[in-house]
Structure formats: C-alpha cells, structure tokens
Amino acid sequence: MLRSFDRQGVFLGLLNVVLLTAGAMMAGANFIDSYNLQSMAAQVPELGLLAFGVMLAMTSGNGGIDLSGIALANLSGIGALMLAKLFVSPDAAPELFSWSFAGIALLIGLVGGLANGLVIAHGRLTPLIATLGTQLLFTGIAVFLTNGSALSLGYIPPLDDFGNSPVLGMPICFALFLVVAAIIAFVLRFTPFGVRLMLLGSNPKAARYGGIAERRMIVLTYTASGLLSSIAGIVIAARNASVKWDYGGSYVLIAILIAVMGGVKPEGGYGKVGCVLLAATALQILSSLFNFMDISNFFRDLAWGLLLLALLAFARFDFGTWLRPSR
C-alpha cells in the first residue's frame, strides 16, 4: 500500500502530465516546446517560494498561516534596490550591486519574518490577524518609499541572467528553487527543528510536555517564512527588472492554494515539500494554458478561489462516514 506522500505525489505528478497533454491538444505543439517550458519553469519560483513559506506556517499548527508573504517580497525588493544604490553603482559594478541587492533583500526578509514571529509568539495574536496586519504594514512602507510608483532596476547582467537565462536548458531561478526545496525537505525530515515543528503542529500539548519551546519554534518558523519571501522578492525583481509595491496581488491566494493542493494540513503537523513543488508546477501549467487560451485574469482569480474552497472542503469531508450504511 502506498504511503500518503506517494499517493499524493503520484496524483500530482499525473496531474502535471495530464495538464501538459491537455495544453498540447488545446493550444497546439507550441505549448510544450522548449521555449514555453523554460518560460513556465522561470515563473514557478515566485509562487513556489511563497507557498513553502505558507507550508511552514501551516505546519506549525495553531491556525498558522502567513498572509504577508508577497507584501514582504515586494518590500524586500524595494528596500534592497534603494539601499544598494546608495553604496554601489549598478553601472560601474553590476556584480557587486547584484550581490549587495540580494544580501539586503534577504536581511529585510529576515527582519520582517522575525517581526511576524515575535508578534504571534509573544503578542499572543492569531497568525491570521497578525500577518494580515503586517501585510498592511509592509505594503504601507513600500508605498511610502516609492510614492506608489514602480522602480526600475534597468539591465543589470547578473540579476537579469538569474531571472531569465537558462543553464543546460533550465532557468537559473528554477534551479535555485529546487535547491531551496531540497534544503527545506532535509531540514523538515532530518533535523531536530523539523521533528519539533511537526510535533508542535500535530499535538501542541505533547510538544509542550516534551520540553519543546513553543514560542521559539514559532519565531524561527515565521523568520524562515520571511526569508523565503525575500528570495521570492529577488526572483521577482530579477525577472521583471523592476520592483513595485502591488506586484502579485493574487499571490497570497495562489500560495495558499498550492500549499493545500500539495497536501499540507491547515490544522498543522503535516506537509511534504515534494508535493508542494508538484502542486506549484501544476498550477503554473494551468495558468500558462489560460494564457494560451486568452482567458482573463478575473476568471483566473475566480477559478483559484473556487479550487481552494473545493480542496479545503474535500480535505475536511469524511467520506468514510458518508459511505457507511445507516442503521
């Protein structure tokens, strides 16, 4: 009998194949040519990294969720661009500027994630309310810094290559995404942090009796989620050669959808990185198919919302009880 991960992974893998086949049949052979496959792969990391952050928050239990991901990603890109330009000229030293930009963005993500964790752990606010509040805070800071306008990076070779260029047929940003996924999977499966996080999410009372520092775990978890958001912010800036406060308005919904579709339990204690990765690629294939079919963004948002509600209902429905004959 297949384990739950194997069943979920096989299902999502087959879903990817079915969507690619349907895309080829409905949109033509161009849908599965190398150029379009590379384009789809380059778009996966933005949402996939945010979905990993949501996965970590959900896994921690206690109604865990991070709604501030895309707002922090945008703020990381904006803050990194403005600060890096104070010290390094992108024209005179593009490589140094790129590394400075990435380092500052990661630092902003760490600080933002730490703020989330401290508010939730020590302020005793529910994660939903806390991260909704910090989402508005991060967005407000970004709007204040930019006056609501987009900031252009221009053409900076290292950043542009990272966001758009393939190596051995694979976009560099997608390769980084796979590396990050492997690191998260290793941490959750083979380190004390991962074991404690799963126990905290599945049985918080047992975790407390077992000596696990609940507040510390929550702070570390949301700090890691903030770091993932900042990496997503770097990818967004590199791919678009600009940063803006309202980029990815529907990304919060889609990131949650990817996590739930990947089998992460909203009540906590369970989540598999491989399944979330496959869910991210499946939704990207579906989104690209919508593009080929010229379906409007409004319909897409409607489709994502309905799919999320359906998956949540499906996850909570007890089919065994429904199928059991009545007496």
- Find all residues with CB under 8 Å of 64, minimum gap 6, and list them: 57, 58, 127, 201, 221, 268
User: How far from 195 is each of 44, 207, 217, CA to CA, in Å?
Assistant: 28, 10, 11
The class that CATH gives domain 42-312 is mainly alpha
Q: Report which of residues 316 and 226 the model is more confident about.
A: 226
Q: Give the pLDDT score at 193.
A: 94
Q: Which residues contact 279 (CB under 8 A, 6 or more apart)?
A: 12, 51, 258, 259, 261, 262
Read off the pLDDT of residues 67-78 as tens digits, 9 standing for 90 and up: 999 999 999 999
pLDDT of res. 63: 83
Q: What is the residue extent of each domain of the chain?
A: 42-312
- Considering only residues 182 and 169, tell me which one the structure prediction assigns the higher pLDDT: 182
pLDDT at residue 294 above 90? no
Lowest-confidence region among 8-17, 134-143, 146-155, 280-289: 8-17
Q: How far, CA to CA in Å, does 240 sit from each of 41, 71, 243? A: 15, 16, 8
